[in-house]
Structure 1
Amino acid sequence: MLVDPESGRPRAVGAAVLAAGEDLEAELQQEQIETCTRPCHSLEELGAQVRAARAAAAAAAHDVGVALAPLATSPLPVEPTVSPKLRYAEMCRRFGLTAAEQLTCGCHVHVAIDSPDEGVEVLDRIRPWLAPLLAISANSPFWNGEDSGYCSYRAQVWQRWPSAGPYAPFGSAAAYRELVDTALATETVLDEGMIYLEARLSRQHPTVEIRVADVCREPDEAVLVAGLVRALVQTAADAAKRGSAPDPVRTEVLRLAEWRASRWGLDADLLDPRTWQPVPAAKALDAFVEHVTPVLEDSGDLPLVRELIDDLAQRGTGARRQREVLGRTGDLSAVVRDALHRAP
């Protein structure tokens, strides 16, 4: 979010921040900006890049009199301003308030694949494990100046898009392509970029793209999400090579799991992807780590992932932190100021 550093209110200055910085991208609304990292081989490298990208974006924002707030929704009321692109204008015309109110910030993780066939094998096998990633990243409890009751209200807002959410197994790259072509032929979505599944094949890179997480308040949370995602993708690819079938869990059950993650984050029970029964959030995360432990051990990431999970358990999610600040100050502006990017 691009916000006034004092009032905390979002400011529609995305175009000016883009002109002032490098390696930044426009988003749907002028009150937000997209940062990115280059391909990384280690979580330590990724952490350094996340921090550097945020620092560069914050410097560009400072040059135009605003600050950078890693929040997935605005705690304060806002009427978003659509960025000046024909595609965005058409999205607003076609989708009405869904597009006009869509001021949300997510965290997307790309992991390299060898082929679209391998990518679809991965997509089919990671489905049960996406909801815990949302719970870890939950960082959007407020909407239009009110506590939404959710830890990730961004996830609820995002579900308004007709092409968003969990998905059924595809079975093959050809079947995936058939779904995309059918969706485009309905003339409901504008283009392939609007295939807003929680995970998809990237249009631009030889990767799978996991899109379920909120933008993370802390850089370490983004590193944790990325570390778990990379291990999850490799675990799925390895399972496919062994001939292990994907979990046939229904999409409706995945929606229930995601709703719980959106509602309570790590503050209440999640669904265990092995049994689909409620378990304490800590137990669900233990199951996740156990599921990907062989890959984490091979990459050397297991100690860091466990350390980051322990830190998150001590600190709490971004949503918890936002509510704690509001409880202490009674001031939503203070919630935003508390989250502003600060150089390490």
Structure 2
Amino acid sequence: MRTFGVEEEFLIVDPVSGSPLPLAAGLMRLPPDGQAVHPSAHPVLAVELHQEQLEVITHPHSSLAGLAAEILAGRAFADSLARKVGARIAALATSPLAVAAHPTRNERYDALLEKYALTAREQLTCGTHVHVSVGSDEEGVAVLDRIRSWLAPLIALSSNSPFWNGTDSGYDSFRTQAWNRWSTAGPTEVFGSARAYHTLVADLSNTGVVINPDFDARLSTRHPTVEIRVADVCLDARDTVLIAALVRALVETAAREWAAGQAPDMVPATILRQGAWRASRWGMHGELLHPTTHKPDTARHVISALYDHVRDALDEAGDAAYVEESLQRILSNGTGASRQRQAYERNGRLADIVTHAISLTHQELAEYLPWGNNSSRRTQKPPAQGAI
């Protein structure tokens, strides 16, 4: 069973005005409340590019239930620190209110801000990064080559950033648009080998522009993992768990294809970028690019194709029932982008979006853990083929 872990980035916000607050460095220095941490998890916190953000990092897990528990514990732990100074943590991929962000001062971030100027100063965006273990760089690059076409649906499923600079952007994931201003952001061409991957990374570094490539998916420089970076931070923690399950299944499926000698889809990265743009613009409400035909198709058909593609891996991990139910829920109820717009439409107040987001970020643990204490879902019969 491949291990996997999640990094979630959150906004630190004023619970009344909804404005982001530059408090990350101070929160990192606060003593934790022992009661705030789930007994089976010890969340790790980190600062990000701006002081209005806080990152929560899980440990590696082999079970979806264990990962879900730590995701929730991490959200609760970060929020418990924010509460000490009158703030809250909100799972919003962009701030609904206009904000002049305050940079985190260290050597790495100072270099980013100096080089990328306004792009870096405006990059107050929060994503979900999923790490999945691989056996070697060669296997990792083979995985990167074979998951490229399947990443755009993850943008649609996680879309949670419709507002930007105080207005509705018209996009379900405007974070994707803002993120793609980095020079190496977006999909990549097929690499073909670990050597080719590392050569490209070195060549990019030698241009003097790139500090660390921001590919949609890449080899981690610190862990024996591939890192998939396309998702918004999810308003609903259940959606974070869903994205993690799908990513692990994509990695496992791709590794099996490579081991069986199946060649990757050679579709150009320029076409994949159009798929990401569609997912960013309309989320689950419009047509997406189908991952095998690369032509527009309904979101339901695309998500069904994704589910069927990774079905065997989900079954073997015991995750199929949870994923199927979660996909049905999103298809019926929408994503975080939908909920943000609904919160705004009630009274036309941007602050209401943030208040609503705070409550959804921190719903009760029992509401989210469908496995119970005995992981009963692992023994359930998987849903029928084509159930989505």
- TM-score under structure 2 length normalisation: 0.87
AA partner of residue 342 (structure 1): H
Could you give the per-residue CA deviations for residues 288-325 of structure 1, whole angstroms, max 9, x where no partner exists? Answer: 00101111111111111101111222221000100011
Q: Map 1:93-242 to 2 at 5 A.
A: 93-190=114-211, 194-242=212-260
Q: Which amino acid aligns with 2:252?
A: Q
Q: Which letter maps to 2:271? A: V
Structure 1: unaligned runs, 5 residues or longer: none
CA contact (8 A) 2:75 2:362 kept: no
CA distance, structure 1, for counterparts of residue 333 and residue 54 of structure 2? 26
One-letter amino acid matched to 1:161: W
Deviation at 1:268, TM superposition (A): 0.8
**RMSD between aligned alpha carbons?**
0.9
Q: Match of 1:24?
A: 45
Q: Deviations over 1:136-181 (max 9, x none)?
A: 0000000000100100000000011101111000000000000110
Alpha-carbon deviation of 1:343?
Answer: 4.8
**Which consecutive unaligned segments of at least 5 residues does structure 2 have?**
1-10, 33-42, 365-388
Contact 1:55 1:343 in 2 (8 A): no
Deviation at 1:342, TM superposition (A): 2.7
Tell me the SS of whatever aligns to 1:53.
helix
Whichever residue aligns with residue 330 of structure 1, its letter is G
Instruction: Report the counterpart of residue 15 of structure 2 in structure 1.
Output: 5
Q: How far does residue 63 in structure 1 lie from its aligned partner after superposition?
A: 1.1
Deviations 1:61-116 (A, max 9, x none): 11122100000000000000001212211211111100011000000000000000
Q: What are the superposed Cα offsets for residues 220-279 of structure 1, whole Å, 9 maximum, x if unpaired? A: 000000000000000000000000000000111000000000000001111111111111
Distance across 1 between alignment mates of 2:13 and 2:343: 18
SS at match of 1:33: strand
Q: 2:357 aligns with which of 323, 336, 339?
A: 339
Match of residue 8 from structure 2: none
Query: Partners of 2:332 and 2:186 in 1: how far apart?
Result: 30
Taking the aligned partners of 1:23 and 1:201, their CA distance within structure 2 comes to 21
Question: Quick one: which amino acid aligns to residue 170 of structure 1?
Answer: F
Distance 1:207 1:201 in 2: 6
For residues 332 and 206 of structure 1, what CA distance do their matches in structure 2 show? 41
The answer to whether residue 273 in structure 2 is matched with residue 255 in structure 1 is yes
Q: 2:94 aligned to 73, 79, 97, which one? A: 73
| Aligned ranges 1:239-318 → 2 under 5 Å | 239-318=257-336
* Equivalent residue runs for 1:79-94 within 5 Å: 79-94=100-115
The code of the aligned residue for 2:290 comes to D
Does the CA contact (< 8 Å) of 1:325 and 1:335 recur in 2?
Answer: yes
* In structure 2, C-alpha distance between the alignment counterparts of 1:300 and 1:333, rounded to whole Å: 40
| Count, aligned residues | 341
CA distance in 1, matches of 2:62, 2:242: 14
Counterpart among 15, 24, 31 of residue 25 in structure 2: 15
CA distance in 2 between counterparts of 1:343 and 1:259 reads 31
Amino acid at match of 1:176: Y
**Which of 83-92 and 223-232 deviates more?**
83-92
Q: Do the aligned partners of 2:24 and 2:47 also contact (CA within 8 Å) in 1?
A: yes
- In 2: Cα distance, 1:85 partner to 1:51 partner: 29
Q: Does structure 2 retain, via aligned residues, the 8 Å contact 1:16–1:64? A: no
Could you tell which deviates more after superposition, 41-50 or 195-204? 41-50
Contact 1:138 1:317 in 2 (8 A): yes
Identity fraction in percent: 48
Q: Partner of 2:101: helix, strand, or coil?
A: coil
